Structure 1
Amino acid sequence: MSKTISSGVWPTMLTPFTENHQLDEPNLERLVDWYIGQGVHGLFAVCQSSEMFKLSLEERVLATRIVVRQAAGRVPVIASGHTSDSIEDQIEEIKQIWAEGIEAFVMLSNRLAAEHESDEVWKANAERILQAVPDVKFGIYECPYPYKRLMNPALLQWCVSTGRFLFLKDTCCDIQEIKDRLEVLNGTGLQLFNANSATLLESLKLGAAGFSGIMANHHPALYVWLTENWNTQPEKAEQVQDFLGLASAIEGQYYPVDAKYNIQLSGIPLTLTTRVKDAAGLQTHQRTLVEQLKRYSDRLLAELT
């Protein structure tokens, strides 16, 4: 394979909305600049954190266009967004989003076969897509919605054999499974990016390429520090890992509203509006937790740098 994806931190990007639930283009541009200012190595646009199942195809294409344009080559951009059920419709979605200049299109593992269908069905549908868009490079995201379909080592080996896959957003949250996957991927062009904060450091030691998870919307610079320094500053890396693992417990609180609140605290004037949750549902004590998390994150980063 002639091309690889940059290692490091790839945040699963949020989508800013106006108060009336329209795409907030100026704040999406500001958000791109904020991520890049935090030192991230790439941007994963139009994903589950972006509320892609609540975006029209026109909005998914527009969001991709804005992110690519605003990134302006400073970091690479990948994107997903094939939310349709039929493979034919997915191919059209892939074509339109790929045309915006992304590095790879990230396929959702659950879009290529129904929950009850076999890996053979998955491979057959994947092959249809690969043949329909021969110039596209791909990633895989084990998206939990509408159901989570994990990639076993044999299926990953098939993906490697195609020479078309560069990126795996791993959501298995199992360090032994991650180890087994990395043994298959070692020396190939397909790199594993862990989405689970608790297992991140151990996965980096095993050969994972980096992090691509929702907590990079809360304190991306700490994930950047860990992925860049874990091997040269092992004692500090253990301390940072302990914090990141514990802090990730906030994932179950009120995402993505709480992450938008954290970014508000960083000075980006986006609203708390989402299409998946009522912003008013972020309770006072939950706001306090986000504020405490940000203060502690900022102090820890200052100590490291």
Structure 2
Amino acid sequence: MSNTKKGFIPVMLTPFKDNGAIDYDGLTKLTELYLETGAAGLFANCLSSEMFELSETERLELVKHVVKVVAGRVPVVATGTFGGEIAKQADFIKRIYDTNVEAVIGITGLLAKENDSDEVFEANIAQLLALTENVPMGFYECPVPYKRIISPKQLGNMVQTGRVIYHKDTCLDIEQIREKLALTSNAANFGLYDAYMVHAVESLKAGSAGLSCIQGNFFPELIVWLCNHYDQAALSKEIAIVQQFFVEQMEIMHEVYPTVAKYYLQKRGLEISTFTRRTDIGEFNKETKAKIDRLFEEYAKLRERINLENVLA
């Protein structure tokens, strides 16, 4: 997960059938969509995948399926920590790694309790790394069950172990991003992927390895375009337009997510259901549907405005 070339790492959705079963045919099509639009890697079994609504067996089978479809074309990372004793989490990390992923991702909010000190968190990380032998690791500041932000110093220390090659950052603070990048700049095999599209261009310019955001579940080719062109002076006007588009459309893409993303992909022609196992996201009503319809229209206008090459309709 090198930081030498910027890339987009989608946080993968999980398509379900209307009866709630995983739709593996839909998952194949979705995986191919990410790849066809230029994804540099894939983050499977993540929050967007509804990982907390999957059984342990489903998590493993889902990751195996994605790895099989990808067939080595890009790296795949996947979550391997779901709470409980550190030894138990380490065991599942090994099982996820056996699916042939590039690295296994630890959820920071599951590696210490919310009121635990930094010292407890750091000790748990050290224990986890010791128990997982040589498994390449990454970390994700997932907002569920609570968001535990890794400090720049903590991240620098983790990367110095040589075991941590990936970090999905959700701190929402560009100055903290810059500090994290400064303290990990000498690690050639490490990449920080930013989730916050409000400062996407600033983050890429600061040295982030790429972007890993839910917006890629609406228009992945636009995230790829930004990763490829963020620093090109000749396209400065277009880059500013794209950055502002993400700022303006941020709220609607988080509303009733992931249902809204699945509906948007339906409009793109992907044959998947909007079914979700999540019960805490609100109602996908006519008002929300109309907002996504408008987003679809606005994106069509944006593509024309910046002359984005037609990767997919």
**Percent identical residues:** 37
Which deviates further from its counterpart, 233-242 or 196-205? 233-242
Equivalence for 1:295: 297
> CA separation in 1, counterparts of 2:300 and 2:133?
45
The TM-score normalised by the length of structure 2 is 0.92
Q: Which residue of 1 aligns with 2:252?
A: 250
Return 180-189 or 66-75, whichever deviates more.
Answer: 180-189
In the TM superposition, 1:198-209 aligns within 5 A as 198-209=198-209
SS in 1 for 2:176: helix
Give the Cα separation in 2 of the matches to 1:212 and 1:280.
Answer: 24
Q: Which runs of structure 2 are paired with 1:80-229 in the superposition (5 Å)?
A: 80-188=79-187, 189-229=189-229
AA matched with 1:277: T
Shift of 1:301: 2.9
CA displacement 1:199-258 (0-9 Å, x = unmatched): 111111111111101111111111110110111222211111111221222133110100
Q: How far has the Cα of 1:150 moved from its partner? A: 0.2
* Contact kept in structure 2, 1:54 and 1:276, CA below 8 Å: yes
Residue 18 of structure 1 contacts residue 273 of structure 1 at CA under 8 Å; is this kept in 2?
yes
Structure-to-structure mapping, 1:254-293, within 5 angstroms: 254-277=256-279, 281-293=283-295
Distance (Å, rounded) in 2 between the aligned partners of 1:280 and 1:127:
38
Runs of 4+ aligned residues of structure 1 deviating over 6 Å after TM superposition are: none
In 1, the alpha carbon distance for the partners of 2:80 and 2:126 equals 18
Whether 1:4 and 2:6 are equivalent positions in the alignment is no
SS at match of 1:304: coil
CA distance in 1, matches of 2:135, 2:2: 13
CA distance in 1, matches of 2:137, 2:74: 17
Return the alpha-carbon distance in structure 1 between the equivalents of residues 131 and 281 of structure 2.
40
| Structure-2 separation of matches of 1:190 and 1:220 | 23
3-state SS of the aligned residue for 2:105? strand
Partner of 1:304: 308
Distance (whole Å) between structure 2 residues aligned to residue 277 and residue 267 of structure 1: 26
Gaps of 5+ in 1: none
Q: What's the counterpart of residue 79 of structure 1?
A: 78
Q: Structure 2: any 5+ residue segments left out of the alignment?
A: none
Deviates more, 1:94-103 or 1:187-196: 187-196
* Cα pair 1:272 1:279 within 8 Å, conserved: no
Question: What's the RMSD between the two structures over aligned residues?
Answer: 1.7
Q: TM-score, normalised by structure 1?
A: 0.94
- Contact 2:6–2:204 (8 Å) recurs in 1: no
